[in-house]
Homo-oligomer: A and B are copies of this chain.
Amino acid sequence: MIGNSPAAFHVSTRGEYGMRLMVDLAKHWGQGTVSLHAVAEREDLPEAYLEQLVAALRKAGLVNGKRGAGGGYVLAREPREITAGDVVRALEGPIEPQICTAEGEAILNCVREPDCGTRAVWLKLQDSIAKALDGMTLAELAKTTTRERVNV
Contact = CB atoms under 8 A, between A and B. Distances in A.
Contacts of A12: 5, 7-8, 10
Interface stretch (A55-63, A65-73, A125-133): A125-133
A7 B141 CA distance: 23
A143 to B, nearest CB: 8
25 contacts: A1-B45, A1-B46, A5-B16, A10-B10, A11-B99, A16-B122, A20-B116, A20-B118, A23-B117, A23-B118, A44-B112, A115-B146, A117-B141, A117-B144, A117-B145, A118-B145, A120-B141, A121-B133, A121-B136, A124-B132, A127-B132, A128-B128, A128-B129, A129-B129, A129-B132
